[in-house]
Amino acid sequence: MGIDGILNVNKPEGPTSFKIVARLRRLIAEKHVGHAGTLDPIATGVLPVCLGQATRITEYLANTSKTYFAQIELGIVTDTFDREGEILERYNPGGITLNRLEEALASFRGAIDQVPPAFSALKQQGRRCYELARAGVPVQPKPRRVEITRLELVDFQLPIVEIEIDCTKGTYIRSLANDIGKYLECGAHLRNLRRLRYGPFSLQNALSPDEIEEAFHRDEWKKLVHPMDSPLWEWKAIVVNKSNEIDIRTGRPVPVKENDDIPGEYCRAYNIDGNFLAVMRFVPEKWHWHPEKVFSVS
């Protein structure tokens, strides 16, 4: 029997996120395995890998905030915005002061319009942008609104800048590095990146693929799996009776209790045995919870 849940993987530098997923899929012989939030090959850190039915909640996990540690090198611009790219320009960053750097970081805090890198997995004309860029086709990703809720300087020793970032879905740290270089008029690229947190999953509790494989061979790997509803624990939770459970399983809504406060957009529904039953979406016009994703209970 398969298992439904999430592995908090500490991705090493080198392999793609897809290769990490493929390795775990082969290891545990689970058909449905997927990751939430791609990390570039040079990036390390938290990569949640969803198993079984948990693959159906990746979209909600993707909407949670993330924390990164980034090392940025001033003075060099690359086409990919990171150290793997072709060098396009070189500048002397020797005149950059701490005050000037702090001013630059302040300009990127809060809600900003960010242009993703041309070398990204976003699609243009039905193809991945990085495929077009590598083929020499001009790529012009559209700006999109992201929010950087925290941007702190950790260390500054020319030409290296180290920062920590809390941000929302869709933020490209490579673009941030490039934009900081533009602001300082000396160019910059992302040298190293480590994801410290993804929603409720932190680096302190993450395990490398090798550690997970060792636990598998000891038949202890299932102890490492987090409940599939763990990314949703900040949502309201409701417990439904047998009648409402049948309604949910057949796609019918459940009324919101009259004495309840105005709910959020979503809630977690559990049956009376405590099993995670469904993701429910609030429909204000009808004042009910509509089942958006229903899960089987073994």
Q: Which residue has the higher pLDDT, 141 or 236?
A: 236
Using CA atoms, how far apart are residues 137 and 160, in angstroms rounded to an integer? 32
Q: Is 128 domain-assigned?
A: yes
Q: Is 29 domain-assigned?
A: yes
CATH at residue 212: 3.30.2350.10
Burial class (CB in 10 A: 0-12, 13-18, 19+), 243: exposed
Whether the predicted pLDDT of 288 surpasses 60: yes
Helices 173-184 and 98-106 cross at an angle (nearest 10°) of 130
Which is catalytic among the residues 4, 40, 166, 229? 40
Residue 258 φ/ψ, nearest 5 degrees: -60, -35
Residues 147 and 102 in one domain: yes
DSSP for 33-92 reads: EEESS---TT-EEEEEEEEGGGGGGHHHHHTS-EEEEEEEEETEEETTSBTTSPEEEE--
Using CA atoms, how far apart are residues 67 and 150, in angstroms rounded to an integer? 9
Confidence of residue 83 (pLDDT cuts 50, 70, 90): very high
Range of the domain at 258: 235-294
Residues 37 and 93 in one domain: no
Confidence of residue 139 (pLDDT cuts 50, 70, 90): low
Residues 79 and 157 in one domain: yes
Q: Is 184 domain-assigned?
A: yes
Residue positions counted in the chain: 298
Q: Is 269 domain-assigned?
A: yes
Residues 39 and 13 in one domain: yes
Range of weakest confidence among 20-29, 96-105, 123-132, 214-223: 123-132
pLDDT of 264 reads 82
Residues 78 and 43 in one domain: no
Secondary structure class of 18 (helix, strand, coil): helix
Residues 208 and 98 in one domain: no
Average pLDDT over residues 152-168: 97
Whether the predicted pLDDT of 136 surpasses 60: no
Secondary structure class of 203 (helix, strand, coil): helix
Give the chain's domain count: 3
* 141 Cβ contact partners less than 8 Å away, ≥ 6 residues apart: 115, 116, 117, 118, 120, 122, 124, 129
CATH at residue 279: 2.30.130.10
pLDDT of 123 reads 52
* 10 Cβ contact partners less than 8 Å away, ≥ 6 residues apart: 44, 45, 46, 47, 203, 206, 207, 208
Residues 159 and 252 in one domain: no
Residues 88 and 37 in one domain: no
CB 55, CB 35: distance < 8 Å: no
Confidence of residue 131 (pLDDT cuts 50, 70, 90): low
Q: Is 195 domain-assigned?
A: no
CB 276, CB 57: distance < 8 Å: no
Q: Is 13 domain-assigned?
A: yes
- Measuring CA to CA, which residue among 193, 224, 231 is closest to residue 8? 224
pLDDT of 10 reads 98
Residues 205 and 241 in one domain: no
Q: Which two tokens stand for residue 253?
A: 């809504």
Residues 256 and 214 in one domain: no
Q: Is 126 domain-assigned?
A: yes
Residues 114 and 38 in one domain: no
Q: Is 96 domain-assigned?
A: yes
Residues 217 and 239 in one domain: no
Active site residue 261: no
Number of Cβ within 10 Å of residue 70's Cβ equals 23
Using CA atoms, how far apart are residues 284 and 297, in angstroms rounded to an integer? 28
